[in-house]
Amino acid sequence: MEIARHWRQRGARYRLEGQRSRSTGAVRFPAQPPALGEELNEWELVTLSGRGEIYSFSVIRQAPDGYDAFTPYPVALVRLAEGPLVSAQLTDCAEGDLAIGQSVEMATRLLVDGGADDVLVYGYKFRPTIQ
Amino acid sequence: MRPTRPVGVVGYGVYVPRYRIAAKEIARLWTDGQGGVPVDAKSVPGPDEDTITMSIEAARNALARAGVPAERLSAVWIGSESHPYSVKPSGTVVAEALGAAPWVSAADFEFACKAGTEALTAGMALVGSGMADYALAIGADTAQSRPGDALEYTASAGAGAFIIGPATEALATIDATVSYATDTPDFYRRAERPYPVHGNRFTGEPAYFHQIQSAARRLLDDLGKVASDFTYAIFHQPNAKFPQAVAKRLGFSDAQIAPGLLSPQIGNTYSGAALVGLGATLDVAQPGDTIFVTSYGSGAGSDAYALTVTEGILERRGRAPLTEAYLRRQVFVDYGVYVKWVGKLVMG
Amino acid sequence: MTNIYVIGSAATPVGEHYSRSLADLASEAVRGAFASAPGLTARSVGALYVANALGDNLAGQGQLGAFLASAVGLRGVPALRVEAAGASGGVAMQQAAQAIAAGQCEVAVVLGAEKVTDRLEGALEAALASQSDAEAEGINGLTLNAQWALLMRRYMHEYGYSADAFAPFPVNAHANALKNPQALYRFAINADKYRKAGQIASPLNMLDCSSVADGAACVILAAESVAQTIAGPRVRLAGTAVATDSPSLAARPDPLDLTAARASAHIALGRAHMGLGEVQVFELSDPHGIAAALALEAFGCYGRGEAPRHAAGGALAPTGRTPIATAGGYKARGDVAGASGVYQVVELVRQLRGTAGPSQVPGARIALAQSLGGIGATAATCVLVSE
């Protein structure tokens, strides 16, 4: 059980909250601590659109502990509309449905179920765009 | 019942999972394919879907249509009989995901298949009393069923989300409602038990039909209207037959219930059923159309509503996927995949 | 500043050593290394660097410095564990070299040791996945294999290859492992078998994925003053360098560019006063063909998108332009996680001493080993020269 570790990620995982640079407008995801030499308030929170396209993808058939119930499952690097890459699972698709460049959208899904006495961990996945 | 301040639906959203299982595939396992089936197919939640995730997507669609910022929601109320936690609200996860937290009332409702409309009525009261401007009511379920039970053919997954707001901003006003409830144990699931049990034919006349007819007739009487005064009607749909039968008894035609009758394609989405049907009907309704909705929950009771569609529907309908977009992307799975995904496979 | 020499080296076979503990394996490697350095005794050792990536996750043992020092007969010696995922071995080599260069000691022992088979596959995948950004990426079930697979798919897309184009990498690795009695997989494969192999993380198939296994390797480094007293041909550790990159693929501006691999190799070569073109044999982090291809391209051995074409032309073989995996590489010798960087040096010492047998690179005098942590978040390079 890692209750607090999941809880503190809820903005990023549930809403795709990233950061935007106040000086350049650049967007990054996930949020990072301020780098050396940066003003403490250089980066402001921004909720990303959840739209993007597949940069690359893979279907995992040998899974880590905790992911057996989902196996096989697709993962991808997604180029978000705001610019950053994000790695995530894909959902609601089979390998044959996928191609690099395809447009995808965020869905909030169950990421992992640690068992009957653990918290359910929800977060972003991506799927082929519905509309 | 009518609120002090007129209210209506300012945004609605539907969600139905991508996967289906054919009723005949279930019959193959349990009856050697002999005999009739109550629906053609039912929706199946993917392995990463539950009441919380489906509620989030339906609610995002509702917010998109409403054009209301999530932080203006004063309530996120979710009716379901398949909340992922027994203790710990689905509503807090959904409110957080939508961006409605922290100044929000979040709660989970339970009343078998009408938990969603319970939330809707509560939302009407919250907004109608002037306590708040916007309340989100969701009905969602990933319904459970014992392997081989009659319920396994129909118990499915889906969600409908409705944002209640002032009638002046509504895409459909809610003109009146009634609620009817009696102690009628036609279907129940004891605490700690994985699957519900039901009273077979007892679920029919004294339960489904009596409660729905009582609520529906009372609302028609209150309004001084008859079935033919409405453009559309939606009834709770545990299978294909019951809603058609009760519609006929109440004087509604097949054409009136057609847009909202989804059970033949997706089964019984339980708390979602009446609300998903209403969503599908709003997808096709025109300004001035009137809609009659009656839910049903085992245990038992029924909520009935009369709505009038406004001009707002025209601009807002297209802001989120129509129900048809979710129905169209159907992918059929076999019984093996189905049991793996819905937790009926012992994983150790 | 003194020159630094490898005066002893040895390794255990890579395998599923179910009957042996981490301490057993470490002891065998250290005894073997001392046996290859006649006259050297434990009393000469001034420091022990233990390279280990997964000990606390999979071997259930912490404080590996003191634990293994005691187990191998170096009780009392200053000892610590170096952890940089798959680059642990290379980083430990650099730490040991720096200790000698700084005059802290004259002899330092680098011990790579990994014990992974006490736990089942799912725990191993989880431990490897935690080497990326665990909170942001590990939670997505993104395995280390899958991260390489994402790079491979993108590479295929950008440069127009099919997955088959990567077959020459494992085919070469297996051909060399066949002749290495210490290798995990001593059998040959061919392009046809590669094509038919089942998928692990598409497009990576089973024959393009290393197996992580147990093993220990030991390298003894010494200052010139000590090395002069040891008989036999001398191998000098001419340069080392460590570089880092984001552990998260998504955070990299150009994911197909292994910037840490390039920086580490070039800085180490610079410190050795050598040019890339002078290197005659390489040991790379090559659990998959794509990993070796990207490393060779990052160094500048081949232009971007060209490595598979050269591999198909025989460039990877002992007689080729860039020989790699002469002992079988990660794929066929076996992937020993944090110990791999030490195994690499053991193999290159054989090459530079001319004792590599059937996989000998003719006339090898200059060699480069590079181990990567994760998908190249850490890159540690050692340049070795025979004298």
**ipTM here:** 0.97
Preferred mutation among A47, A90, A92 to probe B, highest tally of B CBs within 10 A: A92
pLDDT one-digit tens code per residue, B106-159: 999 999 999 999 999 999 999 999 999 999 999 999 999 999 999 999 999 999
Contact list in A for residue B48 (CB cut-off 8 A) is 70, 89, 91, 109-111, 125
Name the average pLDDT for chain C. Answer: 96
pLDDT at B303: 98
Q: Is residue C330 part of a domain?
A: yes
CA distance A15 to chain B (A): 6
Q: What residue spans define the domains of chain B?
A: 7-171+316-341, 174-313
Q: Where does the pLDDT of residue A68 fall: very low under 50, low under 70, confident under 90, or very high at 90 and above?
A: confident
C107 neighbors A28 (Cβ within 8 angstroms): no
Q: Which long-range contacts (CB under 8 A, 24 or more apart) does B247-251 make?
A: B249/B209, B249/B213, B250/B213, B250/B216, B250/B217, B250/B220, B251/B226, B251/B227
- B57 is an active site residue: no
Nearest CA in chain C to A28: C251
Q: For residue A20, what pLDDT is reported?
A: 97
User: What CATH superfamily is the domain B174-313?
Assistant: Thiolase/Chalcone synthase (3.40.47.10)
Residue C190 three-state SS: coil
CATH number at residue C58: 3.40.47.10
- Band (C122; pLDDT cuts 50, 70, 90): confident
- For the stretch C93-112, pLDDT in tens is 999 999 999 999 999 999 99
CA C197 – CA B338 distance, rounded (Å): 28
Q: What is the pTM (predicted TM-score) of this model?
A: 0.96
Neighboring chains of C (3 or more beta-carbon pairs < 8 A)? A
B-chain CB neighbours of A109 within 8 Å are 46, 48-49, 53
C-beta separation of B47 from B100 below 8 A: no
CATH code for residues B7-171+316-341: 3.40.47.10
Q: Which two tokens stand for residue B4?
A: 């002090």
> Per residue in C14-46, pLDDT tens?
999 999 999 999 999 999 999 999 899 999 999
Q: Is residue C240 part of a domain?
A: yes
Interface of chain B toward chain A, CB-CB under 8 angstroms: 18, 46-50, 52-53, 56-57, 84-85, 93, 96-97, 99, 320-321, 325-326, 329, 331, 340, 347
pLDDT of residue A116: 86
pLDDT at C240: 98
pLDDT at position C366, please? 98
Q: Which residues lie below 8 Å from residue A80, measured CB to CB, with a gap of 6+?
A: A27, A29, A48, A49, A50, A51, A52, A86
C278 alpha carbon, distance to own chain's centre: 20
Q: Domain of C103?
A: 4-119+211-386
Share of chain A above pLDDT 90, in %: 86
Q: How confident is the model at residue B345 (pLDDT cuts 50, 70, 90)?
A: confident
Provide the shortest C-alpha distance from residue C273 to chain A (in Å).
Answer: 33
Judge if B7-171+316-341 and B174-313 fold alike in CATH terms. yes
Q: Residue C262 falls within a domain, yes or no?
A: yes
Helix axes C289-299, C259-271, angle to 10 degrees: 50
- CA A55/CA A48 separation, integer angstroms: 17
Whether residue C150 is contained in a domain is answered as: no
C79 — pLDDT class (breaks 50, 70, 90): very high
Counted domains in chain C:
1
CB atoms within 10 A of CB C304: 16
What percentage of residues in chain B have a pLDDT greater than 90?
A: 97
B83 is catalytic: no
Cβ distance A122 to B97 less than 8 Å, yes or no, reads yes
* Residue from B25, B49, B57, B113 carrying the catalytic annotation: B113
Q: How far is C26 from chain A (nearest CA, A)?
A: 28
Active site residue B236: yes
